[in-house]
């Protein structure tokens, strides 16, 4: 029915356009001898417009009103009509009109048809501003994503979100208006614009926003009393056109601003496909995610080793969809037990080993350094010995940024593990033994995110060691993807350091989580740095020669090897000094 109405409107526009064009040509008066030609010309134009429009033009298919598709087809149908009409005026004596009239009328007709559609669309756009109970949103980002989102929100009366203003840092967009919503300033104007428009929500419509921008906008929104919604990347939106349902609450991961990782899938597949792969610490956060990702590359067999049966249960459930614990792929073994570990390796005969088993909690290991020695050093030595015994071709030791310029038991023990791995590579010229170093992973067991969540749920306070403390963070899947990439490109004997992005202030993370919780009564309490902790973590030890690798997010450094046979175990009271000595550093933190 709508297409019939617009057919009639366009016919009327042609009649008006021909009349106006004739009047203009004849000095605003139409002599009676031109009446017959004007009527015939109108009939011809009407017939052609309808015929062309319903066969190839805008009436044959229902378009979004005023869309580029409709406008293009309308222009084509009208132009063809004008050309045929001009030929008729020239060639037929019955249509007695000045020859310039069809040209002028075509231009006027196009203008009239476009104007009619845009007026109706503008009125319809303004009518859908409904619901005084809708959230009033300031949208940051007037680029492609922001424009599509604003148009979608404006055209959807049931979205529950009414865009009232746009913000963008691009000065060329300051006078821009999208679907009646104007750009009213830059990011620093957020509080003022929110106050003037009575907004209660900030929508960050920049899918590729860097972490520092998200953190700054989140902090500004918190200060202005605004809740925050985020527009995800277009690749995450079904259909590619954002709607209100695609918006989600700000997540802690948004503060990292991590971008998608481009992996050399062929190299990783060549490394893993059809091979026998063993993962130690398979029940932990990193180990279990490694297992999930390795399983996608169709290894010949994947062995998951851990001494935590509950962890293995969860990992098997996530990969196989059941957890009967009756699979040969599950290996219950403690890496501290050298004999059992060697027996496992002799039975499974892995080609590739990912060594993720370790103790990782800094404060706990400061109090119990002997446990760090047993798991992180001697456990790693046991895994290395077993791997060398069965001829493993690729060995990947999962390290930590605490091993760079270490100042704590955790860092020293992992530094020793890096050195042991480097020495194993020198002794096995036919194999590759490498370490991969990265920082905190978001959401791992014992991470600050989980701790803060529990503290906020219980009403606080949220405890932070120091207002200026900052840490590198990665998402668990992202870290594991780069570990697999490092395993496929590492030459052996080196430490491969993952790009951790920009450090995140723990205070900013806590404030964001408190704001997201909707609670206003949760305090932040600073408890002071604990022994062995740094204000800012490091990725490299001073003096280490940093080299680029074949992947832009991975660099490499050399560490001096430390042969397993040279380890001379310390007395119980001297573990800390022993770790410092064998790590090759000279700093010893005080005991807690």
- pLDDT tens per residue, range 350-389: 999 999 999 998 889 999 999 999 999 999 999 999 999 9
Q: What pLDDT is stored for residue 258 in this prediction?
A: 54
How many angstroms separate the CA atoms of 584 and 367, rounded? Answer: 21
Is residue 162 over pLDDT 50? yes
Q: What pLDDT is stored for residue 1 in this prediction?
A: 44
Is residue 236 over pLDDT 50? no
Query: Phi and psi dihedrals of 165, rounded to 5?
Result: -165, 155
Q: Scan for tokens 């990292």, then name that residue.
A: 256
Residue 412's nearest CA partner among 398, 399, 402 is 402
Q: What angle do CA 242, 247, 249 make, to 5 degrees?
A: 165
Strand intervals (E) in 130-192 = 135-140, 161-167, 177-178, 181-182
Is residue 69 over pLDDT 80? no
How many angstroms separate the CA atoms of 445 and 451, rounded? Answer: 9
Highest averaged pLDDT of the listed ranges 258-262, 398-402, 506-510, 560-564 = 398-402
Question: Dihedral (C-alpha) 145, 146, 148, 151: value to the nearest 10 degrees?
Answer: 170
Residue 98 · residue 79 · CB < 8 Å: no
Residue 298 · residue 375 · CB < 8 Å: no
How many angstroms separate the CA atoms of 262 and 561, rounded? Answer: 32
In order, the DSSP letters of 303-327 are: EEEES-HHHHHHHHHHHHS---S--
Q: Which value, in Å, is the radius of gyration of the alpha carbons in the chain?
A: 35
- Number of Cβ within a 10 Å radius of residue 336: 15
How many angstroms separate the CA atoms of 154 and 165, rounded? Answer: 12
How many angstroms separate the CA atoms of 373 and 368, rounded? Answer: 9
How many angstroms separate the CA atoms of 184 and 168, rounded? Answer: 8
Q: Which of 292-296, 421-425, 460-464, 548-552 has the lowest mean pLDDT?
A: 548-552
- pLDDT tens per residue, range 286-334: 999 999 999 999 999 999 999 999 999 999 998 888 777 878 899 999 9
> What DSSP character marks residue 138?
E
> What DSSP character marks residue 246?
G
Dihedral-angle region of residue 137 (phi above 0 means left; psi in -120 to 50 means alpha; beta otherwise)? beta
67's CB contacts (< 8 A; 6+ apart) are none
The first and second tokens of residue 291, run together, are: 């297992």
User: Average pLDDT, stretch 130-151?
Assistant: 80
pTM here is 0.68
Q: What pLDDT is stored for residue 446 in this prediction?
A: 62
CA distances from 113 to 2, 16, 105 (A): 15, 11, 12
The length of the chain is 592
Q: Scan for tokens 């605004």, then name that residue.
A: 226
Q: Scan for tokens 């989102």, then name that residue.
A: 149
Bigger pLDDT: 304 vs 590: 304
Residue 576 · residue 366 · CB < 8 Å: no
Is residue 525 over pLDDT 90? yes
Q: What pLDDT is stored for residue 570 in this prediction?
A: 81
Is residue 263 over pLDDT 50? yes
User: Average pLDDT, stretch 59-88?
Assistant: 70
Is residue 405 over pLDDT 50? yes
Q: What pLDDT is stored for residue 444 in this prediction?
A: 65
DSSP3 helix / strand / coil % (the chain, rounded to 5): 50, 15, 35
Q: Scan for tokens 């404030």, then name that residue.
A: 511
Q: What pLDDT is stored for residue 155 in this prediction?
A: 74
User: Average pLDDT, stretch 267-295?
Assistant: 92
Across the chain, mean pLDDT equals: 82
Element (H, E) at 49: helix 35-55
Is residue 259 over pLDDT 90? no
Residues pairing with 279 in the sheet: 304, 354
Q: What pLDDT is stored for residue 423 in this prediction?
A: 94
Q: Which of 26-40, 179-193, 427-441 has the lowest mean pLDDT?
A: 26-40
User: Average pLDDT, stretch 80-109?
Assistant: 76
For 592, the 3-state DSSP assignment is coil
Residue 355 · residue 333 · CB < 8 Å: no
How many angstroms separate the CA atoms of 584 and 418, rounded? Answer: 11
User: Average pLDDT, stretch 519-524?
Assistant: 83
How many angstroms separate the CA atoms of 233 and 211, rounded? Answer: 14
Q: What pLDDT is stored for residue 64 in this prediction?
A: 58
Is residue 590 over pLDDT 60? no
197's CB contacts (< 8 A; 6+ apart) are 136, 138, 164, 165, 184
Confidence of residue 592 (pLDDT cuts 50, 70, 90): very low
The first and second tokens of residue 162, run together, are: 């009414």
């Amino acid at each position: 029915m709508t297409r019939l109405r617009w057919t009639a409107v366009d016919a009327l526009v042609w009649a008006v356009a021909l009349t106006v064009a004739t009047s203009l040509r004849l000095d605003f008066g139409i002599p009676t001898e031109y009446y017959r030609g004007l009527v015939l010309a109108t009939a011809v134009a009407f017939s052609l417009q309808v015929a062309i429009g319903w066969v190839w033009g805008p009436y044959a298919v229902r378009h979004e009103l005023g869309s580029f598709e409709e406008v293009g087809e309308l222009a084509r149908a009208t132009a063809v009509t004008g050309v045929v009409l001009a030929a008729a005026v020239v060639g037929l004596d019955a249509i007695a009109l000045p020859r310039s009239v069809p040209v002028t009328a075509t231009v006027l007709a196009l203008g009239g048809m476009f104007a009619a559609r845009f007026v109706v669309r503008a009125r319809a756009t303004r009518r859908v501003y409904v619901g005084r109970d809708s959230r009033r949103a300031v949208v940051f980002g007037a680029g492609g994503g922001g424009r599509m989102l604003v148009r979608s929100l404006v055209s959807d009366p049931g979205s529950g979100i009414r865009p009232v203003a746009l913000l963008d840092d691009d000065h060329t967009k300051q006078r821009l208006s999208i679907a009646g919503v104007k750009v009213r300033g830059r990011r620093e104007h957020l509080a003022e614009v929110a106050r003037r428009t009575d907004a209660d929500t900030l929508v960050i419509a920049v899918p590729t926003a860097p972490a520092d921008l998200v953190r700054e906008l989140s902090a500004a929104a918190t200060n202005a009393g605004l809740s925050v919604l985020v527009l995800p990347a277009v690749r995450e939106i079904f259909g590619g056109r954002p709607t209100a349902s695609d918006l989600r609450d700000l997540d802690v991961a948004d503060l990292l601003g991590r971008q998608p990782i481009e992996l050399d899938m062929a190299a990783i597949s060549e490394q893993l496909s059809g091979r026998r792969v063993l993962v130690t610490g398979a029940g932990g956060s990193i180990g279990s995610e490694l297992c999930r990702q390795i399983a996608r590359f169709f290894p010949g067999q994947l062995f998951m080793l851990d001494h935590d049966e509950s962890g293995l249960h969860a990992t098997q459930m996530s990969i196989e969809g059941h957890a009967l614990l009756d699979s040969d792929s599950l290996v219950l073994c403690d890496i501290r037990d050298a004999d059992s570990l060697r027996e496992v390796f002799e039975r499974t005969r892995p080609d590739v080993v990912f060594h993720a088993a370790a103790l990782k909690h800094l404060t706990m290991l400061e109090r119990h350094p002997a446990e760090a020695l047993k798991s992180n050093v001697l456990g790693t030595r046991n895994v290395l010995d077993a791997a060398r015994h069965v001829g493993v071709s690729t060995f990947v030791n999962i390290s930590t940024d605490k091993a760079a310029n270490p100042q704590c038991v955790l860092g020293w023990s992992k530094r020793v593990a890096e050195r042991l791995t480097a020495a194993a590579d020198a002794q096995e010229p036919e194999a590759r033994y490498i370490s991969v170093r990265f920082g905190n992973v978001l959401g791992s067991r014992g991470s600050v995110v989980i701790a803060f969540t529990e503290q906020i749920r219980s009403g606080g306070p949220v405890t932070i060691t120091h207002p200026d403390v900052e840490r590198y963070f990665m998402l668990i899947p992202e870290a594991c993807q780069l570990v697999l990439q490092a395993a496929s490109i590492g030459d052996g004997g080196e430490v491969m350091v993952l790009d951790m992005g920009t450090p995140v202030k723990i205070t900013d993370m806590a404030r964001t989580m408190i704001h997201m919780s909707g609670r206003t009564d949760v305090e932040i309490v600073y408890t002071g740095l604990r022994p062995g902790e740094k204000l800012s973590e490091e990725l490299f030890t001073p003096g280490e020669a940093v080299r680029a690798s074949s992947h832009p997010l991975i660099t490499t450094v050399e560490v001096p090897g430390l042969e397993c046979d040279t380890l001379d175990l310390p007395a119980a009271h001297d573990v800390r000094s022993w770790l410092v000595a064998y790590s090759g550093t000279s700093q010893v933190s005080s005991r807690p």
